[in-house]
């Protein structure tokens, strides 16, 4: 009974339409759980998972020798048996392509996390923060590889990683601008 009186008082005070909208937003926030924890789970956990996967990729398990043997097995399944030099070139291209792609994915996930549920499609601060995460992680990744037995640190790999992230962010900016011009 007391709740009913409060609702009637609020409806009279705020107006019927305003009260209905306010009540809907309150009931949504009460049923959906904590909005902060939901946003963290939905947007930031994928970023953290990607960082974990990338950390694993930078261990000795994915050293050049190990990936070369994996590529050799995969090519063997297709009946391809390249020369040692050809296999070296393929391994090099796959490894550098993986650097580029994994940091493009990281940049995309970071941008998505900063954007969260915002109606805006693109914001310069999201771009800068995402790029900062990519740059910092690429430098930390190479620093980590310096301490592994079969991997080596290279500033050129960090530059390639940054290029992958920057490319993804520029594509996001281009697509959001294109979408905005259609509206």
pLDDT digits 0-9 by tens, 115-137? 988 888 889 999 999 999 999 99
Report whether 50 contacts 116 (CB < 8 A).
no
Q: Which of 7-16, 22-31, 173-182 has the lowest mean pLDDT?
A: 22-31
Whole-prediction pTM = 0.76
Residues 6+ apart with CB under 8 A from 130: 107, 110, 111, 114, 165, 169
Report whether 134 contacts 109 (CB < 8 A).
no
**Residue 19 pLDDT greater than 80, yes or no:** no
What is the chain's alpha carbon radius of gyration, rounded to the nearest angstrom?
Answer: 25
Report whether 115 contacts 46 (CB < 8 A).
no
Looking at residue 159, its pLDDT comes to 96
């Amino acid at each position: 009974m007391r709740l009913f009186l409060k609702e009637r008082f609020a409806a009279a005070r705020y107006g019927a339409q305003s009260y209905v909208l306010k009540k809907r937003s309150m009931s949504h926030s009460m049923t959906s759980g904590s909005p902060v924890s939901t946003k963290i789970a939905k947007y930031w956990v994928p970023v953290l998972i990607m960082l974990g996967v990338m950390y694993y990729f930078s261990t000795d398990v994915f050293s050049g020798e190990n990936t070369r043997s994996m590529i050799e097995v995969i090519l063997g399944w297709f009946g391809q048996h390249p020369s040692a030099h050809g296999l070296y070139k393929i391994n090099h291209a796959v490894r550098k392509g993986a650097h580029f792609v994994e940091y493009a994915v990281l940049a995309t996930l970071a941008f998505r996390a900063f954007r969260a549920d915002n109606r805006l499609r693109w914001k310069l601060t999201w771009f800068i923060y995402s790029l900062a995460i990519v740059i910092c992680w690429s430098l930390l990744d190479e620093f980590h590889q310096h301490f592994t037995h079969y991997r080596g640190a290279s500033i050129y790999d960090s530059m390639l990683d940054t290029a992958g992230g920057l490319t993804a962010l520029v594509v996001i900016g281009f697509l959001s601008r294109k979408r905005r011009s259609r509206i």
